Homo-oligomer: A and B are copies of this chain.
């Protein structure tokens, strides 16, 4: 792909958003590492996974930022043109290959299910999400419309399976929680659906004839905002689920003690 000429405003918008993403990921890493100690041990694995997700993303945004900077050079007229260095978009796919399975795993982990049930649910979701990302890549790097469509369809199969598992099995497994926890879980799943929904739209842009400077800027801005929401925001939601579950458990313990004292 040859990189289109950008105005200084367009180049700077992407440049500053990529930097914002690095800052958000690093700060979230520090938050999740510390926040895990605000939780009882059984909820800590979910926070550990959250911290790995944003740690991995911080590394990749660092690389993407450097690659963006190297791929363009400022002209005397004040616009930005391709420098000849390639802009490596594969960093995003490598990132998703590692972080997307962790994102679904942390949603299962925060439920703190019995070991047998947790293992099966987590295993299937991890495999499906790695397949979803892996099958999308050959289409992403292809300029041929038919190839893009075929891999897009292939990638949609595991995506549909993930949504099915989250809205049926996972909801059932979480059925014995109180209304507050169930409400938070619902919102977390909707956040996941809304942010993950952006990626196929971005993927489809070349098919819809969107190209040039507008397309590349919209894509980088969109991916960055989606990643910050789906990783940092989502991890904060997971933290709140764990806190709500801890509060419910503390209430149950108080009731047990009161009943025993009667």
Which A residues form the contact surface with B (CB < 8 A)?
8, 12, 15-16, 19-20, 22-24, 26-27, 29-31, 33-38, 41, 44-45, 48, 51-52, 55-56, 59-60, 63, 74, 84-86, 88, 90-91, 94-95, 97-98
What is the total number of copies of this protein in its complex? 2
CB–CB A23/B74 < 8 A? no
Q: Which residues of B contact A55 (CB under 8 A)?
A: 26-27, 30
CB–CB A26/B74 < 8 A? no
CB–CB A30/B16 < 8 A? no
Contact of A27 among B31, B97, B98 (CB under 8 A): B98
CB–CB A48/B63 < 8 A? no
- In the complex, the chain B residue whose C-beta lies closest to that of A53 is B27
CB–CB A23/B90 < 8 A? no
Kindly provide the distance from the CB of A235 to the nearest chain B CB, expressed in whole angstroms. Answer: 13
Q: List 10 A-B contacts (CB under 8 A).
A: A15-B88, A16-B91, A16-B94, A19-B63, A26-B55, A26-B59, A30-B55, A31-B52, A34-B36, A74-B84
CA distance A52 to B24 in the complex (A): 10
What 3 pairs between A and B have smallest CB-CB spacing? A27-B52, A16-B90, A20-B94
CB–CB A23/B98 < 8 A? yes
Kindly provide the distance from the CB of A72 to the nearest chain B CB, expressed in whole angstroms. Answer: 12
Contact of A56 among B23, B33, B90 (CB under 8 A): B23
Q: Which residues of B contact A84 (CB under 8 A)?
A: 74
CA distance A55 to B26 in the complex (A): 8
Q: Which residues of B contact A95 (CB under 8 A)?
A: 23
- In the complex, the chain B residue whose C-beta lies closest to that of A84 is B74
